[in-house]
């Protein structure tokens, strides 16, 4: 455990690669995010969706709750809006956050007066992890390590925290590929907050729409902080259609499982040992910085992570588009780099 905070970094920073390597943006295979590269196709929207103010009672909250298997949901402008707002609604205390994980949580909790305790990956194997904390943030599956914790472990930690007035916040941005591990059904219980996203599985990160699943009193307090019209009308319409399209979801879940396994097998053939999630692979490697640079020299942009959380430096590679040329290009770049 540590209290030193890591810097905020994100994937999807393709313009940084353009400036650093001098390669035009359209000549990159951008694998720096864990976003479905063949996401939900956005249909043409009726003109009134663009012309009217967003309607908070348009049924999106109820549809999202049903899709996530939760009693209640609040649509927000991506998980980011909740991450920056929720800490101020919780009693200040010691909050455990993975040192190697989504980098927005630590500064958000610190700014709200909490003491941030950075956790190693090994800490998440401890049944007593919650005992020395007031709040705990768990990204499940974790980004980038692909660590998946069983729901029973999460609920055990929640019970320990809630008994002392604490909170377990579970970020399920990557759970749609593995829905059986969700704790959304328990989110009405005090002290449990679950975040869900439209951006990853559905490939709709640009519409900035996500959902907070929690007890009604906390959702009301969060709604009051955020105010009206936090999610744009066109985003709400696209999200409703995507959440209601069950055949697309079933087909996509199977396709992503196959593509994730294909990416892991490709990396393994090149001597790398990945941890796999259907949307990305994580590769700890002592030469990760060199591999990141070598792949960039061949027009493949990946996400590099410094050593943290008891783990070696590492790369995260998202899925290539489901096109033969993209996979061949990645194969050739890996052969040259590895």
The whole model's pTM is what?
0.94
Task: Indicate the average pLDDT of the chain.
Answer: 94
Q: Which tens digit of pLDDT belongs to each residue from 147-199?
A: 999 999 999 999 999 999 999 999 999 999 998 899 999 999 999 999 999 99
- Residue 6: pLDDT over 70: no
The count of domains in the chain is: 2
Say whether pLDDT at 93 is over 80.
Answer: yes
> Tens digit of pLDDT for each residue in 261-284?
999 999 999 999 999 999 999 999
Q: Does residue 259 share a domain with residue 217?
A: no
Which range marks the domain in which residue 309 is found?
14-39+247-337
Q: What is the pLDDT of residues 186-234, one digit of tens each?
A: 999 999 999 999 999 999 999 999 999 999 999 999 999 999 899 999 9
Looking up residue 278, the CATH number of its domain turns out to be: 3.90.1150.10
pLDDT > 90? residue 75: yes
* Residue 7 placed within a domain: no
| One domain, residues 121 and 219 | yes
Return the pLDDT at 221.
Answer: 97
pLDDT reported for residue 223 = 96
> Is residue 2 one of the residues assigned to a domain?
no
Q: What SS3 string covers the chain?
A: CECCCCCCCCCCCHHHHHHHHCCCHHHCEECCCCCCCCCCCCCCCCHHHHHCCCCCCCCHHHHHHHHHCCCCCEEECHHHHHHHHHHHHCCCCEEEEECCCCCCHHHHHHHCCCEEEEECHHHHHCCCHHHHCCEEEEECCCCCCCCCCCHHHHHHHHHHHHCCCCEEEEECCCHHHCHHHCCHHHCCCCCEEEEEECCCCCCCHHHCCEEEECCHHHHHHHHHHHCCCCCCHHHHHHHHHHHHCHHHHHHHHHHHHHHHHHHHHHHHHCCCCCEEECCEEEEECCCHHHHHHHHHHCCEECEEECCECCECCEEEEECCCCCHHHHHHHHHHHHHHC
Q: Does some domain include residue 80?
A: yes
Residue 8, domain member (yes or no): no
pLDDT, one tens digit per residue, over 292-305 is 999 999 999 999 99
């Amino acid at each position: 455990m540590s209290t030193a905070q890591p810097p905020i970094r994100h994937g999807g920073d393709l313009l940084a690669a353009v400036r650093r390597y001098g390669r035009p943006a359209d000549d990159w295979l951008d694998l720096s995010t864990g976003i479905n590269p063949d996401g939900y196709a956005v249909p043409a929207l009726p003109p009134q969706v663009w012309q009217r103010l967003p309607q908070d009672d348009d049924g999106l909250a109820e549809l999202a709750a049903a899709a996530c298997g939760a009693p209640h949901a609040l649509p927000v402008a991506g998980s980011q809006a909740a991450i920056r707002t929720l800490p101020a609604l919780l009693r200040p205390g010691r909050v455990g956050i993975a040192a190697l994980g989504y980098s927005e949580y630590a500064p958000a909790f610190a700014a709200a007066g909490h003491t941030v305790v950075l956790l190693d990956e090994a800490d998440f194997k401890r049944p007593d992890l919650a005992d020395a904390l007031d709040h705990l943030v768990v990204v499940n599956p974790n980004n980038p390590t692909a660590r998946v914790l069983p729901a029973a472990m999460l609920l055990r930690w929640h019970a320990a925290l809630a008994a002392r007035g604490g909170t377990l916040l579970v970020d399920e941005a990557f759970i749609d590929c593995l829905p059986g591990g969700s704790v959304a059904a328990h989110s009405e219980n005090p002290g449990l907050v679950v975040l869900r996203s439209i951006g990853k599985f559905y490939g709709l990160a640009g519409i900035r729409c996500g959902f907070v699943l929690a007890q009604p009193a906390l959702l009301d307090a969060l709604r009051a902080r955020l105010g009206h019209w936090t999610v744009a009308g066109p985003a709400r319409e696209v999200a409703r259609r995507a959440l209601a399209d069950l055949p697309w979801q079933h087909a996509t879940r199977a396709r992503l499982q196959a593509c994730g396994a294909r990416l892991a097998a490709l990396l393994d053939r090149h001597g790398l040992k990945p941890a796999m999630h259907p949307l990305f692979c994580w590769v700890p490697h002592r030469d990760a910085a060199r591999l990141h640079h070598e792949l960039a020299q061949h027009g493949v942009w990946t996400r590099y992570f410094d050593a943290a959380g008891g783990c070696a430096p590492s790369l995260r590679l998202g899925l290539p588009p489901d096109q033969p040329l993209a996979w061949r290009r990645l194969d050739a770049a890996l052969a040259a780099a590895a």
